[in-house]
Structure 1
Amino acid sequence: MQFSTTPDIPGKIITENLGIVAGNVVQSKHVGRDLMAGLKSIVGGEIAGYTEMLADARDTAIERMVDEAKKRGADAIVNVRFTTSAIMANASEILAYGTAVKLQSQDK
């Protein structure tokens, strides 16, 4: 399924708006990652373990959003956005959301 951060899909016409679809995941920090992050914060630089964790969480949120759109019979999702929030001291949420739509090819 196509999804885009733009309000349309090039070469297609939106024929029906099926509503907002979303996917989220709450990811907790691993104790080992926290220890390494604490050490890394002293010397500076990227905390690769957290980068990987957040990338995996984002992929899961996208997958869940796409699954919801498929259940509604959507052809695509437009205006996709991402947001994060702290749920508690050791857990964060990543939310992916957008508008599920039906598409038709443009006649040229």
Structure 2
Amino acid sequence: MIVVTTENIAGYKIKEVKGEVFGLIVRSRGLGGDVMAGLKSLVGGEIHQYTSLLEDARKQAVDRLIANATDMGANAIVMMRFDSSEVGQTMSEVVAYGTAVTIEKE
């Protein structure tokens, strides 16, 4: 499955637009991560636990995005984007979204 952030894919022609598609995940940071983040925030710098959490969440959101597009009969996703937000005080939501399409080589 080709996934791009652009409207078009070089060398391909969009044959059919299947519609909007998304992959969503909500992850909890956990008490240990919050304690470590609180300590790290006192001295500054990257909080590796949160970086790993968000990287994993983005990968899972893209995996779900691709699975949903496949279920729709698409073979590509164009205009893919990420969005994220906090849910409560201990959870992060990550959504990957775009337009599911069928493409063929020109």
* TM-score interval, normalised by the smaller of the two chains: over 0.9
Give the superposition deviation at 1:75: 1.0
**CA RMSD of the aligned region, Å?**
0.6
Equivalences for residues 49-64 of structure 1 within 5 A: 49-64=49-64
TM-score by length of 1: 0.96
Give the superposition deviation at 1:101: 0.4
Which residue identity lines up with residue 20 of structure 1 in the other structure? E
Q: 1:22 maps to which residue?
A: 22
Give the superposition deviation at 1:8: 1.2
Report the count of equivalent residues: 106
User: Percent sequence identity over matched residues?
Assistant: 47
TM-score by length of 2: 0.98
CA distance in 2, matches of 1:104, 1:32: 48
CA distance in 2, matches of 1:52, 1:85: 16
Structure 1 gap ranges (5+):
none
Q: 2:104 maps to which residue?
A: 104
Which residue identity lines up with residue 10 of structure 1 in the other structure? A
Q: 2:7 maps to which residue?
A: 7
Structure 2 gap ranges (5+):
none
Name the SS of the counterpart of 1:73 in structure 2: coil
Structure 1 residue runs of 4 or more that deviate by more than 4 Å after TM superposition: none
Give the superposition deviation at 1:11: 0.5
Name the SS of the counterpart of 1:19 in structure 2: strand
Which residue identity lines up with residue 8 of structure 1 in the other structure? N
Which residue identity lines up with residue 71 of structure 2 in the other structure? K
Give the superposition deviation at 1:89: 1.1
Output one character per residue of 1:5-47: Cα deviation in whole Å (capped at 9) or x when no partner: 0001111000100000000000111111111100100000000
Equivalences for residues 12-91 of structure 1 within 5 A: 12-91=12-91
